[in-house]
Structure 1
Amino acid sequence: MALEQLSDVVQKCQAVQDDKYSPEDYDVFNTAGRTCIEEGHSAQVLSILVDEKNQAMVKCMGWNLLDPLVQVMLKQEVKNRPHCQAILKHLLKVCSPKELLVGLLEQVEEAPVELLVSAFLLLLKPLKEVLMRLGERKASSLGMVLATLLEQVAKLPTPRSREQEADDFHPLCHCCTSLMAFVRPFVDEARASLAGPREETPSQAGGERGGGGGRGRPNKEDELRVELLKFCMKSLSEPLLQVQLQDSDPLAVSPLREFALDVLSSLTAIGESLPSLVSHPVLRKRRAEGFLEEEVRYPKESLASLAHLLFVHHVAIDTFPAVYSPIFMLRCNMEHINLLLSRTEEHCIHKGQELYEKSLVTVVDGSVSVNELEIKTFTSVPQNLVKIMTLCPAHHLRTKGLKLLQLSIDKFDVEAKYKFFECMLKVSSHSGVEGYIIKNIRSQIDFSLKPGNENDWFLGAHLMPLLRQVLVLPDGPETDLLQNLDRLMESLNLLRYLVLRDKVTQNQTGVWTELTHLEERFMRPLRVGLNMSRAHYEMELQRTMAGHKGKVKGDSMLSVAVGDEQLPHMTSESQIQALHSALHTFDMMESVLVRVEEVVQESS
């Protein structure tokens, strides 16, 4: 029935002049053609479509048969597949390339999840043929195609191990490899165009650079380059930012590493300088010509991914000049690192930490000057590390964050360390972090007191403002001593170290000159706070123990309030143990305070 309807409408259309087919003709052709293909009559449909008398009609209506053709081909029906392939080949040659492009992209976008990969791989070649038919008008269409293909690739799960990448159970690797094969002819065309003779504007002849690092480019942007640039930048963020490349193994093939290398090689081929892209945050004042805004042209996430590929995985690193100083490269990478560390996804944080470590290890200890702290990222990156150390649920990321914080401190010179400690004490609201900074301050003072290491920052007058910032109770005697335990213990240990190490006759640190103020602002309020806290906890301990004795065995769940804080519900034994632990902590703090008071009294 459908085959008869198709034959009838074809005969009718043969007599129509100037391709003025009626809407009814379109509907009958589309419906009958679809049914014929779905019912397995593709051989008969093929004979109708290739008939010379029907070419005008095929040119106007044929592209509507793409949907049933693709669906049948995706079902892997051996019997009908050769005829369907022949029909598709003929349509690609005869129909309007713009209409074909729309139809093919619809098939890519609407492919069900289970057939996504099959549709992707099936339609790459037809899409390339259609684009080639567009000639010089293909640039914008290429951009649309690449955006659609990358959107589909982004839906695929990423392998998390070498074994998963090798198995490619979710064939992201296969799709990436095929995608780069699809793009390569267009990259070659852009490279050839870039290598050809170009006229220079007066400003360019004078050395001014245009957007994208191209040299001697005309004012009019090359659309093909722009679309390929957008593709490369998008690839760097999805999927490459999401995947974790495995360590390079000369005996193993890594499709994702090859994909990353192809993307970076494509950037170079279209006139982009990898060093300029990495240093883009530092050199962003350069003028970008053309119709793409700077943030659209060079997305920050993409540049961060590029830096990670270069310096962590050494992809295309042989194209990167070795003349740049480690400090300059650290400065260039800091914004990339900051962006990655500010994300919440574990893989982004991990990549940010990797890039930070690789950028730091080549820098000589003590060589980063205080001038670098004027760059916002040199303080925001450590602050992001602190957030990771205190809030991230992943233990390995918290541990790595602490290691990197210390590594970054080691790279600062003496003045930069001083300013950094000062800044971190101001912005931090975490006792553990503050305690860690204070411990570093003590280490720097100890280093400065050794012969030959004297400096103006951790000795004498400059040290005093920092000590006043450290040796203070945030809320006076009413400070929560347990909540601020790490900070207070390190402060006490620092003060004990100072009065023991720096004799009153030498007073290199100036602590003895400041002692009266320290007693008023720190030691006496701490003594009062300890007495108040101990009395409160002892009273609570007595009340809890009395209540415990009156309880029936087996009914021992209690709730205890200490100050305004309600302790979590726990057994009475656990709460008694917690109260004893708090009292022990107060004894420990008092023992250090007593030792300081004894040394001060002995030295008076």
Structure 2
Amino acid sequence: MEPVCEADAADNLLKLIRQLIVEEAYDGVKMLFYGPDPSKCAKNLHLMPAIAMDIYNEICFPSLNDEINSDDPELFDCSNELLKLLADYAPLEDLMLELMERIEESRSQAVFSAYIRALQVVLLRHGNQKPQALEWCLNSVFTRLQELPLPAYLSEGYDADQARLLEQDPKVEDLLAHYITVELFLEPLLTDVAVKDVPTGACQTFRDCSMSRRNILTCFLIQLLGKPLALLELSYVKKDMTVSYVQQIVKSLTEHVTQCIGDPYYLLGLVEKRARWQRKLDAAKGVFEMSSQNVFLIEEKLPLHALGMYYHALFVGNLLPPNAPKVYSSLFLLEAGIYLGAVLLEQTEPPLQFSGLRLIEHLVSELTVEIPEASLQMEVHKRFCMALCSIVGYSPQVPLRQLGLCVLRDYILSFGHSGKYFIIKNLLETLQHDGLMGYLSSMYKDLVNQALNQNETLPEVYHGAQFRSMLLLSVCCLPNDVKSDLLMNADRLNSALNIVRYFALRDTLNHTGFWNVMPEIEIKLLQPLGKALDFSLAHYKAYKDRVVNGQSASDDAMIKEQLNMLSMKITNSGVAGEGDSTMPDIGQKQKLEVLGSSITSLEQLLYLYLRTNECLEQSSRKRKQTEV
């Protein structure tokens, strides 16, 4: 066909398509390319490169929107099919840029699906050429997913009962529909990569981590496992729930990632490299994070929280393939997983924090050896412990705090004696949370008790100088001596008195050296605590009398402080909302209730104090009789 004639034929075809669209003969448009006469269809398809962008600009772009989809769905469907058809013939770069822009601007799943189908065709035409273009396109897709509106409670946290109804929320349904669309979009690309691209490591000594189609798709798939999909993860760990769409999507994405990288454990080795052995960036020398030749070391391409969700799916979701390598030790998996656990715990969204806890819980449960104390030299353990203790102490989600406490205990117990001692001692020296410090002190007491029951030589950390140091750190908890606020420190004081009482009764033979430390405990805890109890009880009872007589105005600041402390504890238990921190003015009845509660707490503390002194006296007499 002559060039002039071909141009005229293309122009005539464009006019015919326009006319058919105006006449709403949408089936006629379809027959031009998929009719019963193959020769005519082939001629029309041959003319498409010349008019593809004209069809897009004049027909597809104006028609692919929510208004047309609602008012004239047949026109929308016709334009959708035309767009997919012309994607095979239009100039790659021009159409690709248009599609990227439209995908980011789409505001409904139908429009998003129409443009992403065409983008799929464009990327298949690219083949393994220009992987950077593939990355740009996938970034546009992910940008759209991130911009989808979501219910506020996904970021604030939700319980198991709410999780059962999660997928019935219209916004969540829309998010899942987008994810399913993206999965369908990726399947031909992944198949094409599997067929045409040489598997990483198959023909070379070292794994190729450069910008290739396979690696870019791997990073994108892992990104999809991060936020916003990760915000739905709480429903995934409910054993009694039927298979949900979230589970299906997570399973499919995880399997695709594993298929791309081959060895599912491979990326764990890069986690420590990213977190511990970071490249020294130098803008003057042109050394930037994005300039790395290893795409897996760049946070923007492979966010660590998303990688954590991938390994959460593998381990907690039991999605490891049957042919996964068996050579990796459980200790390596835990030490690498702690980096990801810390990242997930540092996220602000409770679902991701839950996932971090579940991940570490699983890895600790799979340990076959003790974690060596030398491992604590890695900074990540401190980072992990502080993030975990922050959740245990201050999260408003009760189940999250409960699970966090179990994980903290199991994590500490996975070390040897020296490691346990080191962690507990350092946490007691750095934490400010009264209840958590009391729990750790009691945990050390239980460890000493276990060692005493074994009738063997006590490890060094449970007697002598190290025992003395830990004991004083555990029980000497009056920050301002006699003037300390006993109600504010009640949890830790109760724990301290119980520890002293326990060792007084249990270690009469002084195996630990407890009785050598008693003079210091007497001076630093028991004597000032006795005076503080007498003073506080007298003060609160006098204040109660003034309230009864209507003469308490000068002391009302104290009652407000007590109420604010109570409010903080209620909020921390997950009962109150965020707006409950400022307490209103209260009347006489409420004041008396608060004072009554405070006096009761002090009397309980006094009883424990007297009981502790009684046990000390009994054990002391018993020791003297034994010595005689």
Q: TM-score range by the shorter chain?
A: 0.7 to 0.9
Residue 127 of structure 1 aligns with an amino acid whose one-letter code is: L
CA-based RMSD of the aligned residues comes to: 4.3
- Per the alignment, residue 62 of structure 2 pairs with 68
Partners of 2:495 and 2:528 in 1: CA distance: 17
Paired residues of 1:303 and 1:336 also in contact (CA < 8 A): yes
Paired residues of 1:421 and 1:437 also in contact (CA < 8 A): yes
Relative distance call for 1:136 and 1:331 in structure 2 (3 A) is: closer
Partners of 2:201 and 2:533 in 1: CA distance: 79
Relative distance call for 1:530 and 1:359 in structure 2 (3 A) is: same
Q: Which of the two has higher C-alpha Rg?
A: 1
> Structure 1 residue 144 and structure 2 residue 140: aligned?
no
- Per the alignment, residue 580 of structure 2 pairs with none
Paired residues of 2:128 and 2:213 also in contact (CA < 8 A): no
Relative distance call for 1:518 and 1:187 in structure 2 (3 A) is: same
Corresponding residue to 2:317 among 313, 316, 322: 313
Relative distance call for 1:196 and 1:277 in structure 2 (3 A) is: closer
Residue 191 of structure 2 aligns with an amino acid whose one-letter code is: D
Paired residues of 2:49 and 2:91 also in contact (CA < 8 A): no
- Per the alignment, residue 51 of structure 2 pairs with 58
Cα distance, 1:351 vs structure 2:
1.3
> Structure 1 residue 357 and structure 2 residue 361: aligned?
yes
Paired residues of 2:201 and 2:207 also in contact (CA < 8 A): no
> Structure 1 residue 537 and structure 2 residue 540: aligned?
yes
Note the alpha carbon deviations across 1:469-503, whole angstroms, 9 max, x for none.
Answer: 12322221111111111111211121122222222
Aligned ranges 1:363-378 → 2 under 5 Å: 363=367, 367-378=370-381
Residue 575 of structure 1 aligns with an amino acid whose one-letter code is: K
Note the alpha carbon deviations across 1:43-67, whole angstroms, 9 max, x for none.
Answer: 99999x9989987862564432231
Aligned ranges 1:42-121 → 2 under 5 Å: 58=51, 61-65=54-58, 66-71=60-65, 74-75=69-70, 77=72, 80=75, 84=79, 87-88=82-83, 91-112=86-107, 116-121=108-113
> Structure 1 residue 422 and structure 2 residue 416: aligned?
no
Counting aligned pairs with the same residue, the percent is: 22
DSSP-derived class of the 2:64 partner: helix
Note the alpha carbon deviations across 1:170-229, whole angstroms, 9 max, x for none.
Answer: 2444443342332233323333444379998xxx75xxx4564xxxxxxxx353224313
Q: Which runs of no fewer than 5 residues in structure 1 stay unpaired?
A: 1-13, 19-24, 213-220, 551-556
Cα distance, 1:79 vs structure 2:
5.6
**Is the helix fraction higher in 1 or 2?**
2
DSSP-derived class of the 1:492 partner: helix
- Per the alignment, residue 586 of structure 2 pairs with 570
Partners of 1:152 and 1:281 in 2: CA distance: 27
Partners of 1:80 and 1:429 in 2: CA distance: 65
- Per the alignment, residue 10 of structure 1 pairs with none
Partners of 2:201 and 2:348 in 1: CA distance: 46
Paired residues of 1:190 and 1:269 also in contact (CA < 8 A): no
Cα distance, 1:392 vs structure 2:
1.8
Partners of 2:331 and 2:48 in 1: CA distance: 67
Aligned ranges 1:198-213 → 2 under 5 Å: 205=205, 209-210=206-207, 212=209
Partners of 1:572 and 1:348 in 2: CA distance: 45
Paired residues of 1:560 and 1:566 also in contact (CA < 8 A): no
Partners of 1:251 and 1:442 in 2: CA distance: 40
- Per the alignment, residue 270 of structure 2 pairs with 280
> Structure 1 residue 241 and structure 2 residue 230: aligned?
yes
Paired residues of 2:308 and 2:340 also in contact (CA < 8 A): yes
Partners of 2:543 and 2:26 in 1: CA distance: 88
DSSP-derived class of the 2:325 partner: coil
Residue 228 of structure 1 aligns with an amino acid whose one-letter code is: L
Partners of 1:276 and 1:497 in 2: CA distance: 49
- Per the alignment, residue 560 of structure 1 pairs with 556
- Per the alignment, residue 3 of structure 1 pairs with none
Aligned ranges 1:300-339 → 2 under 5 Å: 300-339=304-343
Cα distance, 1:393 vs structure 2:
1.8
TM-score normalized by the length of structure 2: 0.75
Partners of 2:88 and 2:503 in 1: CA distance: 86
Relative distance call for 1:378 and 1:36 in structure 2 (3 A) is: same
> Structure 1 residue 132 and structure 2 residue 136: aligned?
no
Partners of 1:135 and 1:371 in 2: CA distance: 49
Residue 403 of structure 2 aligns with an amino acid whose one-letter code is: K
Note the alpha carbon deviations across 1:255-294, whole angstroms, 9 max, x for none.
Answer: 5444334433333443453202134323555997357753
Cα distance, 1:589 vs structure 2:
3.1
Aligned ranges 1:357-506 → 2 under 5 Å: 357-363=361-367, 367-453=370-456, 454-472=458-476, 473-503=478-508, 506=509
Paired positions, count: 555
Partners of 1:292 and 1:194 in 2: CA distance: 18
> Structure 1 residue 586 and structure 2 residue 591: aligned?
no
Relative distance call for 1:558 and 1:313 in structure 2 (3 A) is: farther
Q: Which runs of no fewer than 5 residues in structure 2 stay unpaired?
A: 33-40, 155-161, 280-291, 564-582
Residue 63 of structure 1 aligns with an amino acid whose one-letter code is: Y
Paired residues of 2:345 and 2:388 also in contact (CA < 8 A): yes
